[in-house]
Amino acid sequence: MRFNTLTRVIIIPAIIISFSGILRGQDSLSLEQALEKSLEHNYGIRISRSEAKIAGINNNWGNAGRYPTIGFDIGSYNSYDINNSADYQSNRLSLSLGTRWTLFDGFRVKITKDKLAELEILAKGRSAVVVENSIQDVILAYYNVLLNQEQLMLFEKIMTLSKDRYDFEQRRYEIGGTASFSVLQAKNVFLNDTALFLEQEVRLRSAIRNMNFLIGEESSREWLFSDKFEVQEHDYLLSDLSDKMIADNKNLQNQYTDLILQQEEIKLKKGNYYPGIDLTTGVNNNWAMMDRLGSAPTFNNNMNLYGNLIISFDLYSGGNRNRALEVARVNEKIVLVETEQMKHSLNNQLLNLHDSYYVLKALKSVAEESLETAAINLDIAGEKFRAGAINSFNYRDIQLIYLNSALQNLKSVFNLIQSETSLIRITGGFVKEEVSSY
């Protein structure tokens, strides 16, 4: 009895060709290049920057009400009257040019301008948060691709070992050195490892598509990822991280801006207790003609200039001003509590991230040592299996131990990268000058 060799003749070349197509790609892409593409093409960043630009446009003295308003009107009015005594028609042309200028309104102009400036800062701060999110997502997506590539190569290695074992068992069977059961068991293991390889290839393609989405590239674009899947370990002093977080965390900075805006709102409500002073000036010109049937037409031209100073003061408004001011003060207290809550929450996150980072460093060391031991054991087991010192089941168990150790080692590297990325993010290390770079 001979076993079908179609699997090893057709499936393996197809897999290797597909895999090499993924690795070869069209262009090289480093992490730095991916971040540059993301900052330029990421959808969320482009939208947030446009919103920040709108806030910058709105931040001007005209919106705050410092400048006068100027209006011009022109109108033509015509009529034709019919009565018992005589018919007549009239035509009147009216032109007016006027200005209105608020001289004082309880400091609202200055306060409104300050508020517009803070709104621009807040818009840029929120844009910076979007940039931070994008940077973190791209870093993790890039290393996730590298992780999946490493896992794919690992599954290829395991699949190759299974193929070698299958070929070895089949040759032994052909010369009568083993039973058909061993060949079938080896073939089943090989096919199972092939399926794992194919599934991992799908995961790799999905990771690349996700990467392309984050950097604004076509989903089908393929790359040669040039950075290595490795992490540099650092020592972080908790007090330094805490100082950086308080000074540079973008969410906390935005919260402080919210507090300033609420304080400006209180000033605006206090301005309602002051009188308002407006100056209006202008010119009106009226030209009229009346033509009565049977009589000569008559003309009239009238021009007047005016300048008025208007002082207005709200003596009583049903307590609306007091209530509005009280609500503004309560809102300020709410923002103060939210600020303290955020600081407390960020501090807890920082402590957890700091502890987690050092635990993950230790786990990475353990995983590396475990992998080294498993690799040596796998080499020895391969020699013993070919010499007949151990059976196929023992050899498969050792293969699985090596596979799990290798996967755990790769995951420990990614976990450490993820942990360090979160530490940098929470301390505001991703974005320094982005807020002022529009």
User: What one-letter code names the amino acid at 99?
Assistant: T
CA–CA gap between residue 22 and residue 30 (Å, rounded): 16
User: What one-letter code names the amino acid at 154?
Assistant: L
Across the range 344-372, mean pLDDT stands at 95
Question: SS3 for 41?
Answer: helix
Fold of 6-66+107-274+319-436: Outer membrane efflux proteins (OEP) (1.20.1600)
Residues 265-282 as b/e (b if ≥16 CB within 10 A, e otherwise) read: bbbbbbbbeeebebeebb
- Please tell me the predicted confidence (pLDDT) of residue 166: 84
- Please tell me the predicted confidence (pLDDT) of residue 179: 63
Enclosing H/E stretch for 100: strand 88-104
Residue with tokens 């076509």: 218
Residue count of the chain, please give it.
Answer: 438
Instruction: Say what percent of the chain tops pLDDT 70.
Output: 89
pLDDT tens digit string along 239-284?
Answer: 999 999 999 999 999 999 999 999 999 999 998 899 999 999 999 9
- Please tell me the predicted confidence (pLDDT) of residue 432: 64
Q: Dihedral of the CA atoms 163, 167, 169, 174 (nearest 10)? A: 160
CA–CA gap between residue 328 and residue 324 (Å, rounded): 6
Domain layout of the chain by residue ranges = 6-66+107-274+319-436
CA–CA gap between residue 22 and residue 37 (Å, rounded): 20
| pTM of the entire predicted model | 0.81
pLDDT band at 85 (very low <50, low <70, confident <90, very high): low
pLDDT band at 80 (very low <50, low <70, confident <90, very high): confident
CA–CA gap between residue 437 and residue 392 (Å, rounded): 64
Alpha helical stretches, state H, 215-319: 238-248, 250-271
pLDDT band at 36 (very low <50, low <70, confident <90, very high): very high
Q: What is the DSSP string of 180-241?
A: HHHHHHHHHHHHHHHHHHHHHHHHHHHHHHHHHHHTT--TT--EEE-S-S--------HHHH
CA–CA gap between residue 171 and residue 181 (Å, rounded): 14
Give how far Cα 86 sits from Cα of 37, 54, 268, 282, Å.
83, 63, 62, 38
Which is more confidently placed, 184 or 225?
Answer: 225
pLDDT at residue 37 tops 60: yes
Task: Copy the structure tokens of residue 136.
Answer: 């973190």
Residues 6+ apart with CB under 8 A from 78: 89, 90, 91, 92
